[in-house]
Amino acid sequence: MKTVIFACVHNAGRSQMAAAFFNAMADPRKARAVSAGTQPGERVHPEVQAAMAEAGIELAGAKPQRLTDEMAQGAHRLITMGCGDACPYVPGLEREDWPLEDPKGKPVERVREIRDEVRTRVAKLLERQGWGS
């Protein structure tokens, strides 16, 4: 079982979308995802919740959480979400950065575009790694 951590600063948008798509599309016997942030917000952005609900994924119960050493232990890969210098670094984890725009406060049309880009990137990752369901 491989664990992928999707991380951004506030863990209230991009990383939540990525982990939710990953867990919906991955073979649960092969891989799972968690999301976290370096400075977690209080809640997932409402515009992100709305866009994900349109895609059939409910994030109302999702809560931003801090990326901890304990969480990173045993993880396979860290995918950061275009947070620049604020992106976390975890020694020993394979790392890649997805330079994605923060959806916070954006019009719903733009949030949908970001959501769709996240879904496409997740699908490609699952295909590349052989973790799809």
- Are 19 and 79 contacting, i.e. CB atoms less than 8 angstroms apart? no
Average pLDDT score over residue span 14-22: 97
CA dist., res. 38 & res. 29, Å (int): 28
Task: Please tell me the predicted confidence (pLDDT) of residue 91.
Answer: 78
Helices 108-129 and 46-54: crossing angle, nearest 10°? 60
Q: What is the CA radius of gyration of the chain?
A: 13
For the chain, domain boundaries: 2-129
Q: Which amino acid would we find at residue 106?
A: K
Query: Tens digits of per-residue pLDDT, 50-100?
Result: 999 999 999 989 999 999 888 888 899 999 997 777 677 777 888 899 999
Task: Please tell me the predicted confidence (pLDDT) of residue 42.
Answer: 95
pTM of the entire structure?
0.94
CA dist., res. 71 & res. 52, Å (int): 25
Average predicted confidence (pLDDT) for the chain: 93
Average pLDDT score over residue span 20-36: 97
Architecture field, domain 2-129:
3-Layer(aba) Sandwich (3.40)
Confidence tier at 121 by pLDDT (50, 70, 90): very high
Which tokens in the block code for residue 107? 């019009």
The neighbour count for residue 83, using CB atoms within 10 Å, is: 21
CA dist., res. 91 & res. 97, Å (int): 15
